[in-house]
Amino acid sequence: MPAFISFLTITEFTIFGLPEDISNLIFMVLGAAIFCGVSAVMALLGVYLERKISAKMQDRLGPMEVGSHGILQTLADAVKLLLKEDIVPAAADKTLHFIAPVMIFAATLAAFAVLQFSEGIVFSDLNVGIFYIIAISSFVVIAIILAGWSSNNKWSLLGGMRAAAQIVSFEIPASLAVMVVVMSVGSLNLGDIIDAQEGSMFSWMIFRFFPFNFIAFIVFFVASLAELNRAPFDMPEAESEIVAGFATEYSGFKWSCFFLAEYANMFLVSVVITTLFLGGWRSPFGDFLNSQPFQLFWLLSKAFVIIFIQMWLRWTLPRVRVDQLMYTSWKVLTPFAFVAMIGVGLLMIL
Amino acid sequence: MNIPFYDILFYVFAALIVSSAAVMVFSRNVIYSAVGLLFAFFGVAAIYVLLGADFVAVAQILIYVGGILVLLIFGVMLSQKVTSVDIKNGAVQIVPAILVVGGVLFILIRVLLSTPWGAASGRNIQDVDLTAAVEPTTQQIGRLLMTEYLIPFEIVSVLLLGALIGAAFIARKDA
């Protein structure tokens, strides 16, 4: 059964001469704690960026008071959220109302385990890495539906059901777009996918089998926007229609779990897009500036460019209608994803 | 000192499967049953991981949690009385159910007792090197699906296609 350990850790050495089992256990717990911290910091940073970018786009200043240019504002908000009273509606289903935010955060965090942050810095070099990310994200859907149902509120329920329909629909083009990359590389392992993109920026997956992988990139980007419930596909929490959707009846720490999960998911998706299509942690200039600290820098800068585009779209585009959303998924993205897949297949055998 | 790490994990997940399956069966609330099923699926996926079947474990989560369970809960919510907690999960047809379940249990126990577990993989259980890393399975599964098991694979996909067309036909407005 030690197969388990080979899936979960790549660390070979032990700490302080402890037995290997205990040492590995400590590594796993430490790694999980680090990812908790990383995702929380990324969420705080994401919220701050969102406020500042939206302010710039709307010709405002955004948060300016707390810290220089409001840089401590999200930290103050986080402290405020943690200290707030936790209100559970009297008619809510208490158990599920509690499980939903825990599950959404746990699922988001679990997906972080396979990400490659730079050469050799990966918590779990899972052989089915990208497949695992797609699979574990399905817990997010369940958590959102449960949140919507357990709140016992019509807006919550509508938000939950919209989210379920939306995420399930967009999972199909997203998975097909991932398939295109997996076909081009011949592996589900994220490390193999990054290795296949060795060289300068023109060997990135986005330029491979042109234009089919580029189509897959666009399809995956749009589908991931919808899976994140981000504008223009933010029907599950459309403020003007259903208050705050599935999160309407949540407050305090539980609400911040949803919020944290949303921004952590944005970061996750950006890293996945970077890994699949933009060379992961590889430098755009081949071996130039490709040492380990720079790899982390490249990964984060590519991911933050993607995050910036996500925010840019949110503050530029109006929300689509539900029927337009389904049209986008089934009649636009899915056929294009199939075209990309068949095209890559043809080019591979030619 | 060597902790039986995997044994502990196995029993933790086995307990999770059994208890959540019990919740699923005995709960009067359909949503609770669905959540019980969710944790049972998750526990089964964990057992697959312990067995070294990485691809099957992830496929289990993707198909059962991401597909079937979502549709199940969605279906429950679309049915009557969603906003009240009235959706009940009562027992019906108790006598035939006990007969059928008893029969299935009998067959399962027979299979359990008559299977030579150690020899099932063609090896003696003592000879298997448990410390060796288990090989990745994805490539082998893909190769076998495209060669040895191509016909069953295609038949299953035709069956699924049939189900899909049937569902679309039933859902049609002017049917």
Q: What's residue A9's pLDDT? A: 46
Specify whether B70 is located in the same domain as B32. yes
Q: Does A106 touch chain B (CB under 8 A)?
A: no
Minimal CA separation from A182 to chain B, in Å: 12
Residues of B in contact with A153 (CB under 8 A): 83
Mean pLDDT (chain A) is 80
A171 close contact with B: CB closer than 8 A = yes
- Identify the weakest region by mean pLDDT among A51-60, A161-170, B76-85: B76-85
Please check whether residues B130 and B140 belong to one and the same domain.
no
B127 with B148, same domain: the answer is no
Q: Do B66 and B116 share a structural domain? A: yes
Do A168 and B71 make contact, defined as CB atoms within 8 angstroms?
yes
| Residues B107 and B38 reside in one and the same domain | yes
Q: Are residues B11 and B76 in the same domain?
A: yes
Which residue on chain A is closest to B55 by alpha carbon?
A128
In this predicted model, what pLDDT tens digit does every residue of B77-91 receive, in sequence order? 776 554 455 555 566
Rounded to an integer, the average pLDDT of B55-84 is: 77
Cis peptide before B152 (omega within 30 of 0): no
CB contact, 8 Å: B58 with chain A? yes
Residues B19 and B54 in one domain: yes
Q: Does B62 touch chain A (CB under 8 A)?
A: yes
Condensed to tens digits (0 to 9), the pLDDT of residues A193-252 reads 888 887 777 778 787 777 888 888 899 999 888 888 777 777 767 666 777 777 777 877
Residue range A4-36, pLDDT digits in tens: 344 444 445 555 556 666 777 777 788 778 878
**Structural domain span for residue B149:** 136-175
A100 vs A88: CA distance, rounded Å: 13
What are the Cα distances from residue B105, in Å, to B13, B44, B109, B165? 22, 19, 6, 35
pLDDT score at A142: 85
Domain match, B88 and B68 both: yes
Is A170 an 8 Å CB contact of chain B? no
Determine the pLDDT at residue B112: 87
CB contact under 8 A, A164 and B58: no
Do residue B129 and residue B147 come from a single domain? no
Q: What is the ipTM of this complex?
A: 0.76
Shortest Cα distance from A41 to chain B (angstroms)?
Answer: 28
Contact B12/A at CB under 8 A: no
Is residue B65 less than 8 Å (CB to CB) from chain A?
Answer: yes
Q: B82, A25: Cβ pair inside 8 Å?
A: no
Residues A140 and A21: their CA atoms lie apart, in Å, by 31
Read off the amino acid at residue A88: V
- A84, A96 in Cβ contact below 8 A? no
pLDDT at residue A1, as a whole number: 30
Establish if A29 touches chain B: CB-CB under 8 angstroms.
no
pLDDT value of position B81: 57
Å between B102 CA and nearest CA of chain A: 33
Q: What pTM did the predictor assign?
A: 0.82
Amino acid A263: pLDDT: 86
- The A residues from 135 to 154 touching B (CB cutoff 8 Å) are 135-139, 141-142, 145-146, 149-150, 152-154
Residues B171, B129 share a domain:
no
DSSP chain B: ----HHHHHHHHHHHHHHHHHHHHHH-SBHHHHHHHHHHHHHHHHHHHHHTT-HHHHHHHIIIIIIIIIHHHHHHHHHSS--SSS--B-----HHHHHHHHHHHHHHHHHHHHHS-TTTTTTS-TTTS-TTSPPPP-HHHHHHHHHTTTHHHHHHHHHHHHHHHHHHHHHH-TT-
Which residue in the set A99, A142, A188 is minimally distant from B70, CB to CB? Answer: A142
* Mean pLDDT, rounded, for B10-25: 90
Instruction: Please state the domain count of chain B.
Output: 2
Residues B145 and B125 in one domain: no
Closest residue to A4, CB basis, from B32, B49, B61 = B49
One domain for residues B118 and B146: no
